[in-house]
Structure 1
């Protein structure tokens, strides 16, 4: 017997039915000039070789290269049968595309030919985050998993050089990884990790050793200030950590399930410099010279004035959770990806933002006007309406 997969055929609460109806009504909008794909998009990274392209991770188990300008999405790296969570481009000359997967493995392909390469096996749960690094001319892959482990791999041989876990065994699933550009050197890197607990951790890694930075009495960063065992500025899971290329101070930017994105000051021992109250789970944060962009579960892209910390504009168009942001075209645009299966692009130049702001205000005015002019629904039944009409007629007689 066939079974329906339509959610409308199953019991749903009023809230879930309302959400489904709202998303269905919103799904046809063309805001952000959407590129529509056939599966959920779980992550996105920039193409290091093209300012017009991004790589996306799909729930269908593939990595796809998309040219946002030409809208070409035919370059696909296939093999996994489980969702892809994360990607990196690296190895010798950036010749390899890597993908972390729900199947616990890290897959790889030749970037040009798309031929499948080595699989890196070592995690005992979903691979959640991967990045590439280089120490003493040796190309490395670093992965973090839902098993709370961080593994450092030799890309060429597939060997595991180090496996890291929190010394107190309190670290939960790893959510994101980033290299500290200020404190890393050619022979030693400093890695920053975030996880499903609110703590952000720092790790010092060389080819021969790797350890968590814990000794607050001796560990110092490049500006001579003492570090902390962990960075604790959020209330719950931290989904994203990044250092902005445009930030002269190389401060740390974060996005959290506590509904905020933050700028953590290097000079002030990683304490909060600025808080951006997005209002719901923040899955992604991006930073330019002028703007801070946040996005997440509420489906909105919020653009904040970096100088003042004030909200400047809200882009809307996605109808499911937003999972990634990529700044493109020399900071002129930002691309957003979502579980709704679309890639959308939004202007970041002042003129684009002013125009979009005016258009959104007009749309909102139209909605308010429509609500005001909408005829009131009668509280009477059809029979009561008929009875009232008869009474009115008899009164006139």
Structure 2
């Protein structure tokens, strides 16, 4: 039987067979569209669209039949199939990256069933190790401290081995270990620091140490001023019609205050000139910075305060349990009279015990003989 579908509508025409006259053409029969089902849920009307007729899948092409190779002929080998891909094709888009602390917190939150007050009690107890005060500070109301102590003891038994408590204890231990390491590092740096990084008293060369023939040595500005003064004297001599003076360079140019004193200088006898040098505090090492106590200006100049490194050294020795001072060996003194007196008392005590044992043996023997000694 033939079927016909009208394009653009959902109506279908079915053909009916005329059993009385099979030669007549089929008469089309109109079928009205299905009404959507109406459902009511939670006071709301839900409409479901009519089911659509499934479409037929296209027919798969038939594979050609394999032909057997004739005798004496070499057939080409069949191409190898590509390997099948394994693994799923689902991928997570924009995965959230968490650090170690966030993962631990997320895991702890999924494991605990503590409320806010219990968690606060754990935090306070780990820091103070005072259960009663931690119980009160966590927000619990009690009539007296004794009631709070009993309630805190019960709660502590419940949460002492809880995963939240263990995680917080490990976190607190890590912070304490880090702080302890920093303190020990600071003490070690201060104990091993060199105070000369802060202030030094040095001896530098004098004006004649490195001058020509150990004469007064000048700086460039001093040499220019001396030349300018010489030009004035020359002009004055010309005006007075006198012989102009000869310029004397003395020890020459190139005085440097950072040079060491010359051992053969006749002016300072090789000792130089003492200078107090305060170092730049911007470039101090961590150990020297621990000894730095500041700078103040006095009537005599600048004064820098430097702490003593010996207390830091003793503190470092106590931390690592080092005996800074060697222990004195015990000195034994022997007194002959005391030894003789102790020996005499020991003999008397031993003799008394022997006599008591002899008397007891005699009494036992008399009892065995019927009471006759």
Asked if Structure 1 and Structure 2 have the same fold, meaning a TM-score greater than 0.5 normalized by the shorter chain, the answer is no
Select the structure of larger CA radius of gyration. Answer: 2
TM-score by length of 1: 0.14
TM-score, length of structure 2 as denominator length: 0.14
Instruction: Kindly indicate which of the two structures has a greater share of residues assigned to strand.
Output: 1
